[in-house]
Structure 1
Amino acid sequence: MLSTIESVNNVVNNFIWGVPAMICIIGVGLLLSFRTRFLQIRKFPYAMKVTIGRMLRKRDASDGALTPFQAVCTALAATVGTGNIAGVAGAIAIGGPGAVFWMWISAILGMCTKFSEVTLAVHFREKNADGDLVGGPMYYIKNGLKKNWHWLAYLFAAFGVLTVFGTGNATQVNTITTAIDSALINYGVIEAGKSGTLNLIIGIVLAALIALILLGGIKRIGRVTEKLVPFMAVVYILLALGVILLNIKNVPGVFASIFEGAFSPASVTGGAVGSFFMSMKKGVSRGIFSNEAGLGTGSIAHACADTQKPVKQGFFGIFEVFVDTIVICTMTALVILCSGVSIGYGEAAGAELTINGFTSTYGNWVSIFTAVAMCCFAFSTILGWGLYGTRCIEFLFGSKVNKPFMVFYSLVAIVGATMDLGLMWSIAETFNGLMAIPNLIAVFLLSGVVVKLVKEYFENEGKK
Structure 2
Amino acid sequence: MSTLNDLLTTLSGIIWGPFLLIPLLLGTGLYLTIRLRGLQFRALLLGLRHGFVDSNDNDGEGDIPNYQALTTALAATVGVGNIVGVATALSVGGPGALFWMWMTGLVGMASKYSEAYLGVRFRVTDAKGNQSGGPQYYLKRGIKGSLGRWLALSFAVLTPIAALGIGNMTQANAVAAGMQDTFGVDPWVSGVLMFVCTGTVLLGGIRAIGTITSAFVPLMIILYIGGSLIVLFRNAADIPAAIGLIFTDAFTGTAAVGGFAGSAIILVLQMGVARGIFSNESGIGTGAIAAAAAKTSHPTRQALVSMTQTFIDTIVVVTFTGLTIITTGAWDLGKENANIMTAEAFSRGLPGQWGGTIVSMSVVFFAFSTILGWYYYGERCLQSLFGSRSTVPYRMIATVCVFIGAVSELTPIWTFSDVANGLMALPNLIGLLILSGLVAKETTAYLRFDPDLHRSPEECQDFLARQGMDWK
What range describes the TM-score normalised by the shorter chain of this pair? over 0.9
Report the Cα offset of residue 358 of structure 1: 0.8
CA contact under 8 A between 1:203 and 1:415: conserved in structure 2? yes
Of 425, 432, 436, 2:421 maps to: 432
Q: Distance in 2 between matches of 1:440 and 1:400?
A: 30
Unmatched segments (≥5 aa) in structure 1:
185-189
Q: Distance in 2 between matches of 1:313 and 1:349?
A: 40
Match of 1:29 in 2: 29
1:212 aligns with 2:200: yes
Deviations 1:286-323 (A, max 9, x none): 00000000100011001000112101111123211111
Aligned-partner SS, 1:222: helix
Q: Distance in 2 between matches of 1:45 and 1:219?
A: 27
- Of 35-44 and 287-296, the range deviating more from structure 2: 35-44
Report the Cα offset of residue 179 of structure 1: 1.2
Q: Distance in 2 between matches of 1:350 and 1:414?
A: 24
CA contact under 8 A between 2:229 and 2:320: conserved in structure 1? yes
Q: Distance in 2 between matches of 1:350 and 1:341?
A: 9
Aligned-partner SS, 1:266: coil
Of 213, 216, 223, 1:228 maps to: 216
Deviations 1:314-336 (A, max 9, x none): 11232111110000001001111
Deviations 1:329-372 (A, max 9, x none): 01001111112236234x24434110011111214421223222
Deviations 1:9-28 (A, max 9, x none): 12211111011101210111
Match of 1:309 in 2: 298
CA contact under 8 A between 1:175 and 1:351: conserved in structure 2? no
Report the Cα offset of residue 396 of structure 1: 1.6
Aligned-partner SS, 2:330: coil
Q: Report the CA distance shift for 1:25/1:59 in structure 2 as closer, same or farther (over 3 A).
A: closer
Aligned-partner SS, 2:230: helix
Aligned-partner SS, 1:343: helix
Of 265, 278, 292, 1:289 maps to: 278
Q: Over the residues paired in the alignment, what is the CA RMSD in angstroms?
A: 1.8
Report the Cα offset of residue 49 of structure 1: 2.9
CA contact under 8 A between 1:89 and 1:333: conserved in structure 2? yes
CA contact under 8 A between 2:62 and 2:296: conserved in structure 1? no
Aligned-partner SS, 1:130: coil
Counterparts of 1:276-355 in structure 2, within 5 Å, are 276-341=265-330, 343-345=332-334, 347-355=335-343
Match of 1:359 in 2: 347
Report the Cα offset of residue 398 of structure 1: 1.2
**What is the count of residue pairs matched by the alignment?**
449
Q: Report the CA distance shift for 1:462/1:249 in structure 2 as closer, same or farther (over 3 A).
A: closer
Report the Cα offset of residue 437 of structure 1: 0.2
CA contact under 8 A between 1:260 and 1:268: conserved in structure 2? no
Counterparts of 1:256-275 in structure 2, within 5 Å, are 256-267=244-255, 269=257, 272-275=261-264
CA contact under 8 A between 2:60 and 2:295: conserved in structure 1? yes
Q: Distance in 2 between matches of 1:342 and 1:138?
A: 39
Counterparts of 1:169-180 in structure 2, within 5 Å, are 169-180=168-179
Q: Report the CA distance shift for 1:24/1:348 in structure 2 as closer, same or farther (over 3 A).
A: farther
Of 376, 380, 397, 1:408 maps to: 397
Report the Cα offset of residue 454 of structure 1: 0.9
Deviations 1:196-241 (A, max 9, x none): xx21121111111111111111111111000010110111110010
The one-letter code of the counterpart of 2:24 is C
Counterparts of 1:1-12 in structure 2, within 5 Å, are 2-12=1-11
Report the Cα offset of residue 59 of structure 1: 8.4
Counterparts of 1:36-55 in structure 2, within 5 Å, are 36-54=36-54
Report the Cα offset of residue 44 of structure 1: 2.6
Report the Cα offset of residue 246 of structure 1: 0.6
Q: Distance in 2 between matches of 1:266 and 1:341?
A: 15
Q: Distance in 2 between matches of 1:151 and 1:342?
A: 43
Q: Distance in 1 between matches of 2:451 and 2:317?
A: 34
Q: Distance in 2 between matches of 1:100 and 1:349?
A: 18
The one-letter code of the counterpart of 1:140 is Y
Q: Distance in 1 between matches of 2:389 and 2:342?
A: 42
Q: Distance in 1 between matches of 2:224 and 2:332?
A: 21
Report the Cα offset of residue 43 of structure 1: 2.5
Q: Distance in 2 between matches of 1:102 and 1:342?
A: 16
Q: Distance in 2 between matches of 1:379 and 1:77?
A: 8
Q: Percent identity, aligned pairs only? A: 37
Report the Cα offset of residue 8 of structure 1: 1.3
Report the Cα offset of residue 64 of structure 1: 6.6
Match of 1:187 in 2: none
Match of 1:199 in 2: 187
